Structure 1
Amino acid sequence: MEYTRRYLMDGLHNLRDLGGYAVPGGITRFGVLLRSDLPWHLTEDDGKRFAALEVRHTLDLRDVDESESMPDELALLRGVTYRQIAMKKVPRAVARNRPGGLSAFDEAFFWGDEYIRMLEDNHPWAKECAEFLAAAEGTVLFHCFTGKDRTGILAALILGVCGASTEDIAADYSVSQLYLRPMYRWMRENIPDFAARAENAPFFSTAGENILAVCDHLENEYGGAERFLRECGVGADTLDALRRRMIKKA
C-alpha cells in the first residue's frame, strides 16, 4: 500500500493520515492513525480502499444519540472492530441553551475557547482515548461527525505527544475547512439548523488560531500535551507505547 496524507473516498471528505510530520528523532508513521469525518454512505469501492489501508479499528468520538441516528458504516466491514469513546454530554455548539448564550453561528463565538472547555471537562475521555490508541494493534481510524472538532482535539493531543510543532498541528487542523466544503454544502441543504447559514459563520471555521489556542493552553497550564495527559491519569508507559507506534526513527 502506498500511503499519502489524504485518501480520496466516495463517502468521505476529510480522511487523512497522521503520518509524515517531522518530530524529534524521526517522523510520524503512515498507516497507524487516520482521522476522518463520519464513515457514512460508503460505496463498495470505499470498502475496497479501506481493506487496502488495512484499517482494523474505528474509534467513534460521538455520543450514543449521534451514533444511533447515523451509524458508523466502517464498523460493518469485515475485520473492523468498533469502539466508542464519547465526551461528556454538553449542549451542541449550535444550540442556544449554552453557557453565555453563544452558539457557533454567532460572530463572537470562538472555537478555541470551546475546545479548551471540552478538554478540561473531559479528562477521562482524553485518558481513555490515549490508552486505546496506544494499545490497539493495526491501523485505527478515529472520527466524529465532520472530523474537525472532537477529532481535531484528539489529533492535536497525539501530535503534541509525538513532538510535532504547533505550526504542523495547526496546519493539520486547518485544512479541514477546504476538504469539508462539499459536506457543509450538504448540511446547509439537508439539515434545518444549518439552512441559510452564512458560509463564514464560526461553525464552519477551522482557522489555525482555534487549535493554537488549545496548544497555548496546554503549554501554559500543564507544560504541553504529554503533561496534560499525565494529569488525566495516563501512565508514562502508555505514552511511550503511543510514541513507539507513531514515530519512525530517522
Structure 2
Amino acid sequence: MEFRVNIQAMSMHSTHDLSRRHIPLNGASNFRDLGGYVGHEGRPLKWRKIFRSDHLAALDHQDLAQLKALGIARSFDFRGVQESQAQSYQWPDIQRHSLSIEPTVVQRLQAQHLTGKPLTAADALDAMQTTYRDFVRSDSHRFAQLFEHLLDKPDPLLFHCTAGKDRTGLAAALVLSALGVSEADIWKDYLLTNQLYKRNSTGAFTLSPDVLKIVWEVQESFLKASLEVIHHDHGGMHNYLTQTLGLTPAALQKLRATYLD
C-alpha cells in the first residue's frame, strides 16, 4: 500500500465498531483496540492484541483489572523524560518500556509565549505540523523499536504517549500500514481521537480556546505533515517501513502472520 497524502476525511466508526474498539477506563479516555481493520490479503487484524492509549498514570484498580483480563503485560511509552516523570506509573502487572520522544509542540509554544507575542491558532497549527515532520526526521528509531517489540513475541501490548493522539497516532498509522490496512481505515483510526479523548489539564500556561482546540485535537494536516516527509525523504511508505524502520520481507511476513487472522 502506498499511503497518499491527499486523502479526504473519512466517516467515523459505526456504533457497533466503536463499542468493540473503544474500551472505557476510569483513568484513560483514548484507550482502544487496533483489531478488526482489514489488512493484507483481506485478513483482519486480530482483536485484543495491539492497543493504543493516552497515558496510564491515572488508572485505578478497576482499570488495572481490566488490562490484566485483556492480557496486557507490556506498555511502550513514547512520552518525553519530564512528561513521564510528572505523570509516572509503575504497575505491578505491566512492564513499561520507554521509547521517549520529546514533546516539541509544548516547547515551541512556550518559547513564543515568553516573547510576549500572543499565540494564535496559526502558530499552534504550524507547531503541530512541524512536530509531526520531526517525528519522522528525528525519531524514526523509536518507531523501529516498537516494531522490534511487536515482532519479539505475540503477547498483547499497548503503546501510548500523553494524550494518545500524536506520537501514538503516527505509530498506529505505521503499524496499520505495515499490516496492509487501507488508507480509509488508517485515517478513520487516526481521527477517532477527536471523538474519544478528554483532556484533563491545560498545561503550564494559559492558552486561548482556539489554540487549545488545535493542540488537543488531531487534524488531517498533522499526519499529512509526517507522510509528506516519508514520501519526500524516504521515497514512500513502503521504503520507509522496509529501509528506515528495518522491516525486511521476512519481518513483514512474520508481523502479518502474528497479528492478522
TM-score in terms of structure 2 length: 0.79
Task: Give 1:33 shift.
Answer: 0.8
What is the SS of the residue equivalent to 1:132?
A: helix
Corresponding position of 1:97: 111
Q: How does 1:35-54 map onto structure 2 within 5 Å?
A: 35-54=52-71
Which of 195, 209, 218 matches 1:206? 218
Task: Give 1:133 shift.
Answer: 1.8
For the Cα contact (< 8 Å) 2:154–2:258, is it kept in 1?
Answer: no
The alignment of Structure 1 onto Structure 2 pairs a total of residues equal to 234
**Structure number with higher strand proportion:** 1
Describe the superposition over 1:99-121 as per-residue Cα deviations: whole angstroms up to 9, x where unpaired. Answer: xx9x9x63222434431222111
Identity, in percent, stands at 22
Q: Residue 246 of structure 1 aligns to which amino acid in structure 2?
A: Y
Task: Give 1:51 shift.
Answer: 1.3
Q: How does 1:3-152 map onto structure 2 within 5 Å?
A: 4-25=20-41, 26-72=43-89, 75-78=90-93, 80-87=94-101, 90=104, 92=106, 95-97=109-111, 106-108=120-122, 109-110=125-126, 111-152=128-169
| Structure 1 residues 194 and 143: alpha-carbon distance in aligned structure 2, compared to 1, 3 A threshold | farther
- Bigger drift between 7-16 and 224-233 goes to 224-233
Structure 1 stretches lacking a partner, 5+ long: none
Corresponding position of 2:12: none
| Structure 1 residues 90 and 198: alpha-carbon distance in aligned structure 2, compared to 1, 3 A threshold | closer
What is the SS of the residue equivalent to 1:92?
A: helix
Task: Give 1:130 shift.
Answer: 1.5
What is the SS of the residue equivalent to 1:54?
A: coil
- Tell me the distance in 2 between the aligned counterparts of 1:8 and 1:89: 26
| Structure 1 residues 116 and 243: alpha-carbon distance in aligned structure 2, compared to 1, 3 A threshold | farther
| Structure 1 residues 91 and 43: alpha-carbon distance in aligned structure 2, compared to 1, 3 A threshold | closer
For the Cα contact (< 8 Å) 2:33–2:51, is it kept in 1?
Answer: yes
Task: Give 1:211 shift.
Answer: 2.0
For the Cα contact (< 8 Å) 1:135–1:241, is it kept in 2?
Answer: no
Task: Give 1:134 shift.
Answer: 1.7
Q: Residue 8 of structure 1 aligns to which amino acid in structure 2?
A: P
- Tell me the distance in 2 between the aligned counterparts of 1:198 and 1:89: 20
- Tell me the distance in 2 between the aligned counterparts of 1:179 and 1:119: 25
What is the SS of the residue equivalent to 1:11?
A: coil
What is the SS of the residue equivalent to 1:122?
A: helix
- Tell me the distance in 1 between the aligned counterparts of 2:51 and 2:149: 14
- Tell me the distance in 2 between the aligned counterparts of 1:93 and 1:4: 36
Task: Give 1:168 shift.
Answer: 1.2
Which of 162, 184, 189 matches 1:172? 189
- Tell me the distance in 2 between the aligned counterparts of 1:235 and 1:199: 38
Task: Give 1:63 shift.
Answer: 2.1
TM-score in terms of structure 1 length: 0.82
Corresponding position of 1:239: 252
| Structure 1 residues 219 and 161: alpha-carbon distance in aligned structure 2, compared to 1, 3 A threshold | farther
Q: Residue 83 of structure 2 aligns to which amino acid in structure 1?
A: E
Describe the superposition over 1:99-154 as per-residue Cα deviations: whole angstroms up to 9, x where unpaired. Answer: xx9x9x63222434431222111222222121122213411111000000110010
Describe the superposition over 1:38-89 as per-residue Cα deviations: whole angstroms up to 9, x where unpaired. Answer: 01221221121111111020111112222122113xx4132x2111111267
